[in-house]
Amino acid sequence: MKKQQAGFTLIELAIVLVIIGLLLGGVLKGQELINSAKVKNMASDFKNIQVYIYGYQDKFRALPGDDKLADSHLTGGIKATTNGTTGNGVIEGPYNTITATDETALFWQHVRLAGLAAGPTSTADANYYPTNADGGRIGISSVVSNTAVTELPTAGGISGAFIICSEGVLGKFAKQLDTALDDGNTQTGSVRVVTKGAKSIGLTNADTLDSNPYAVCMAF
């Protein structure tokens, strides 16, 4: 007698497919939420740094990093000794400097010692320089100090006293950041997307590839 072959019914197959679809939908939705939270976190970095500047100015009538009385205003505060003149109203040096005595480097010590931001206050600490949600370097400088920096130039219609840059941001997030903080055009307005190490006025949305890392810079 021939043995009857066992198999799945159409209903069973349909149920399995529905379950797989629900699982995939949950994974995709979860990833979407993670990505959305990451963009919000990066956007907060840009906004918080502005608050640090205004808060420090209100407290000490000076700019963090550029404060010529930092050693008096702050316990353990250090005055900048390279890349400019303290007290001239300019946060001098590249935003991504690795020179601990630059004003752009000491900006972080000053705002932290002033109680405006969290983080290490020793420039020798491995975690001293802040990073974004993707682990890229974040920094600030006065716009006039970045004329020699191979990131965002002062040309191309961008205006403002200061510039904040966040590195290693994937293109898909960079475009979302521009939409959240500016005009949605990565080559115009106060927010620009640039290729790290390539001086330009900013990439167009079409040239900002979703899977490539970029520096996102905002002037204010």
In a domain, 17, yes or no: no
Q: Into how many domains does the chain fold?
A: 1
* pLDDT tens-digit readout, 128-181: 999 999 999 999 998 775 544 445 544 555 778 899 999 999 999 999 999 999
Residue 64: pLDDT band by 50, 70, 90 thresholds?
Answer: very high
**pLDDT, position 42:** 96
pLDDT > 90: what percent of the chain? Answer: 61
What contacts 58, CB < 8 A, 6 or more positions away?
none
Assigned domain for 25 exists: no
CA dist., res. 201 & res. 98, Å (int) = 24
User: Is the model's pTM score more than 0.85?
Assistant: no
Domain span at 90: 40-219
Among the listed residues 141, 208, 129, the one whose alpha carbon sits nearest the alpha carbon of residue 170: 208
Decide if 15 is inside a domain. no
Residue 6: its pLDDT value, please? Answer: 61
- Which residues pair with residue 141 across a beta bridge? 163
CATH number at residue 195: 3.30.1690
Whether residue 32 is predicted with pLDDT greater than 60 in this model: the reply is: yes
